């Protein structure tokens, strides 16, 4: 064991009684654990002195071969560094909360007539951002509600700037058509102001301003305007009635965190309330959390989750958070006071009970899902006679007539697809349509890293394709001197689900029954590789074709470009038009229409 070789005493003797971060490594240089300490000497020494630690910690300590420390100026700085390292390095024994996607926001652009839109990514100071929202559904539903009430434009600027008549959104009462001056800038800004108030949770203020404006319009005998404001009030009341959670406080912003554990699995549910309105929730399933106390898991989640994310003024937990430094750090990061408290009575208690029920429901679903996945994996292990298969990688190629070829690599591990470990490869330098060369390039780029010690080693590699693709994979493994288990997945003669043939390196092909759990697992992984490859191909093709925009087409100057956009309403509509439809635009001959069509398709 590593403890027979590693003597921690010299290092422990040299450690200071100062705050900082410590890191444990094994004899191969792999990072085992990252932790923070108020006093490095006491904290690190405790790992080698305690006898009543959990089996998980004892196992970790037995593998320690090297200790590194970093002194910080404060405990808060140590906490920040610790969680930066955990998120970037993903140590084996730390609790890891994987959240692969950025959170969605609602944006009101900084234009004269602002656009309402959905956004993921880093906020830009030029625009107004509201959120984050727990998922895309919550954000898009809110956009639709705002459209119904205030009829704010959502179209792209390229469409907005070239309209000559109102679009369908105006006809179905979802837009006031500022593009063709059917609403004044003053009235539009009034709608924007009310939308902002609603997004901030100020329902009563929105209702009061709408009612006052309606009464004023009626008094001035502007009955059409009064009718519009009346309809907005009705729509607002409908929205309020549909709210699942409504805060009596009116402007409360809070995140509610609940935890459920069962059978070694942990689910943490995060519910978001903004302006007293429940926006939805999101469930997290941390790794390496087995045997840890609930408080430890919750503290680890808060530290990792809010590291690069906006923090509301209130975090509600089921039990007290003993880490006072955490609230201090979050307050400094957010620029406002952040209170971490328990919900014991009243409305906030109801919020927590709701989050707890959702955590238990999501955990129950995950337990059932993993039970089915375990059956599938066990059957695959049995059928392949490979009892240790845990990590499976699958490759697929996507292109259309050789254009924008993309290869995908998806990963199945620990009974689930691991999207954070997926990879796409833009294939170049090959004959268009040569799937064998594309597969060779993707496999080489992926598995060269294993030779240099990077990346996890798969137990099984699935190749979507027939014997030819499998032979390419065998050649790549031989060139890289890697001994990886390979299986080709061919669609069969009729190319129907359930008729797949599995091809092995010795040239034999076998077919599983259509209802076999092992086949279902292979289909799941293969289909995900196909989906991921197709999505990458479409994105790459879209970028390529966008580059071939109207500005780059010979014979299409400013005047003709303006005529095309005005006639069709935008570049997307131009691209969807036929040659005959393009010819109907003033100044576009049939020969030019054919050129435009070819460049945009």
φ/ψ (deg, to 5) at 416: -160, 155
Of 344, 203, 342, 337, the residue nearest 277 (C-alpha): 203
pLDDT per residue as tens digits for the range 415-473: 889 988 999 999 999 988 899 999 999 999 999 988 877 778 999 999 998 899 999 99
pLDDT per residue as tens digits for the range 560-570: 887 887 777 66
- Residue 355 CA, chain-centre distance (Å), reads 21
Cα separation values, 469 from 47, 383, 474, 490, 494, Å = 51, 22, 9, 10, 19
Per DSSP, the three-state class of 257 is strand
**Span 140-154, average pLDDT:** 84
**Rounded distance, CA 256 to CA 273, Å?**
8
Paired sense of beta strands 314-317 and 403-413, if any: unpaired
Two domains, one topology: 254-365 and 392-537: yes
- For every residue of 181-240, DSSP letters joined together read TSS-HHHHHHHHHHHHHHHTT-HHHHHHHHHHHHHHHHHTT-HHHHHHHHHHHHHHHHHH
Question: If pLDDT is split at 50, 70 and 90, which confidence band does 99 have?
Answer: low
For the chain, percent of residues with pLDDT exceeding 90: 31
Side-chain half-sphere CA neighbours of 482 within 13 A: 25
Of 413, 415, 418, 412, the residue nearest 371 (C-alpha): 415
Architecture of domain 254-365: 2-Layer Sandwich (3.30)
Q: Return the exposure string of 585-597: e unless at least 16 CB atoms fall within 10 Å of the residue's CB, then b.
A: beebeeebbebbb
Beta-carbon contacts of residue 52 (< 8 Å; ≥ 6 apart): none
3-state SS, 221-234, equals: CCHHHHHHHHHHHH
Q: Where are the domains of the chain?
A: 2-75, 104-242, 254-365, 392-537, 548-599
Q: Which two tokens stand for residue 355?
A: 């989050």
- For every residue of 478-519, DSSP letters joined together read HHHT----EEEEE--SS--TT--EEE-TTS-EE---TT-HHH
Ranges assigned E (strand) in 427-464: 460-464
pLDDT per residue as tens digits for the range 32-60: 999 999 999 999 998 888 666 677 888 88
CB 543 within 8 A of CB 410: no
User: According to the CATH classification, is domain 548-599 in 1.10.340.30?
Assistant: no
Q: Which two tokens stand for residue 459?
A: 């137990």
Q: What was the pLDDT predicted at 250?
A: 47
Statement: residue 102 has pLDDT above 90 = no
Mean pLDDT comparison of 41-50, 367-376, 481-490, 583-592, highest-scoring range: 481-490
Of 525, 510, 511, the residue nearest 461 (C-alpha): 525
Statement: residue 395 has pLDDT above 90 = yes
Statement: residue 191 has pLDDT above 70 = yes
Mean pLDDT comparison of 258-272, 317-331, 553-567, highest-scoring range: 258-272
φ/ψ (deg, to 5) at 534: -65, -40
Number of helical H runs and strand E runs in the chain: 21, 19
- For every residue of 372-416, DSSP letters joined together read HHHHHHHHHHHHHT-TT---EEEEEEEEETTEEEEEEEEEEETTE
Statement: residue 276 has pLDDT above 80 = no
Mean pLDDT (the chain) is 84
CB 265 within 8 A of CB 285: yes
**Rounded distance, CA 153 to CA 141, Å?**
15
Q: Which two tokens stand for residue 222?
A: 């502007």
User: According to the CATH classification, is domain 392-537 in 3.30.420.340?
Assistant: yes
Q: Flag the least confident range among 149-153, 193-197, 520-524, 573-577.
A: 573-577
**Rounded distance, CA 176 to CA 170, Å?**
6
Selected residue with higher pLDDT from 340 and 225: 340
Q: What was the pLDDT predicted at 476?
A: 95
How many residues are recorded in the chain?
A: 601
Cα separation values, 313 from 337, 338, 340, 341, 439, Å = 6, 4, 9, 11, 51
Unique residue bearing structure tokens 């059932």: 368
Selected residue with higher pLDDT from 370 and 533: 533
Q: What was the pLDDT predicted at 52?
A: 63
Give, in words, the CATH class of 2-75.
alpha beta
């Amino acid at each position: 064991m590593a403890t027979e070789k590693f003597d921690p005493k010299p290092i422990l003797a040299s450690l200071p009684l100062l705050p900082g971060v410590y890191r444990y490594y094994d004899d191969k240089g792999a990072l085992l654990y990252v932790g923070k300490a108020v006093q490095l000497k006491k904290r690190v020494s405790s790992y080698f002195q305690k006898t009543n630690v959990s089996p998980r910690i004892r196992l970790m300590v037995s593998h320690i071969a090297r200790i590194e420390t970093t002194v910080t100026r404060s405990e808060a700085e140590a906490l920040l560094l610790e969680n930066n390292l955990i998120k970037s390095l993903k140590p084996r024994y730390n609790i890891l909360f994987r959240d692969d996607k950025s959170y969605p926001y609602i944006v009101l652009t900084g234009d004269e007539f602002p656009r309402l839109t959905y956004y993921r990514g880093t906020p830009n100071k030029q625009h107004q951002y509201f959120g984050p929202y727990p998922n895309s559904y919550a954000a898009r539903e809110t956009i639709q509600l705002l459209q119904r009430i205030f009829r704010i434009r959502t179209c792209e600027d390229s469409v907005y700037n070239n309209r000559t008549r109102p679009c369908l959104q105006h006809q179905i009462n979802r837009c006031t058509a500022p593009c063709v001056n059917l609403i004044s800038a003053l009235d539009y800004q009034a709608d924007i102001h009310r939308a902002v108030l609603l997004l901030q949770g100020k329902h009563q203020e929105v209702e009061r301003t709408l009612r006052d404006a309606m009464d004023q319009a009626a008094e001035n005998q502007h009955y059409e305007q009064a009718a519009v404001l009346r309809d907005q009030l009705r729509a607002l009341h409908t929205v309020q009635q549909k709210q699942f959670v409504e805060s009596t406080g009116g402007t409360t912003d809070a995140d509610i965190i609940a935890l459920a554990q069962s059978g070694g699995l942990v689910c943490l549910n995060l519910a978001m309330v903004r302006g007293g309105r429940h926006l939805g929730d999101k469930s997290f399933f941390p790794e390496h959390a087995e045997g840890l106390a609930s408080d430890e898991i919750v503290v680890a989640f808060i530290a990792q989750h809010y590291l690069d994310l906006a923090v509301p003024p209130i975090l509600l937990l089921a039990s007290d958070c003993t880490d006072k430094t955490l609230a201090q750090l979050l307050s400094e990061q957010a620029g406002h006071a952040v209170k971490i408290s328990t919900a014991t009575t009243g409305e906030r208690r109801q919020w927590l009970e709701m989050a707890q029920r959702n955590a238990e429901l999501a955990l129950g679903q995950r337990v059932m899902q993993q039970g089915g996945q375990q059956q599938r994996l066990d059957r695959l292990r049995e059928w392949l006679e490979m009892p240790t298969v845990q990590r499976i990688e699958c490759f697929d190629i996507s292109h259309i007539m050789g254009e924008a070829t993309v290869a995908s690599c998806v990963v199945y591990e620990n009974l689930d697809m691991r999207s954070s470990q997926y990879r796409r490869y833009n294939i170049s330098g090959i004959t268009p349509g040569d799937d064998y060369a594309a597969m060779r390039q993707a496999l080489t780029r992926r598995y060269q890293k294993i030779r240099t010690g990077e990346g996890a080693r798969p137990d099984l590699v699935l190749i979507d394709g027939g014997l030819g693709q499998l032979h390419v994979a065998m050649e790549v493994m031989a060139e890289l001197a890697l001994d990886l288990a390979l299986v080709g997945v061919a669609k069969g003669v009729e190319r129907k689900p359930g008729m797949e043939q599995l091809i092995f390196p010795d040239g034999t092909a076998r077919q599983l029954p259509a209802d076999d759990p092992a086949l279902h697992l292979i289909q799941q992984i293969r289909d995900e590789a196909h989906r991921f490859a197709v999505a990458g191909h479409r994105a790459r093709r879209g970028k390529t074709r966008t580059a071939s925009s109207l500005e780059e087409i010979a014979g299409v100057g400013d005047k003709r470009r303006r005529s095309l956009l005005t006639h069709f309403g935008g570049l997307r509509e131009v691209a969807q038009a036929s040659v005959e439809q393009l010819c109907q635009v003033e100044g576009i001959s049939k020969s030019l229409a054919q050129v435009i069509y070819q460049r945009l398709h």
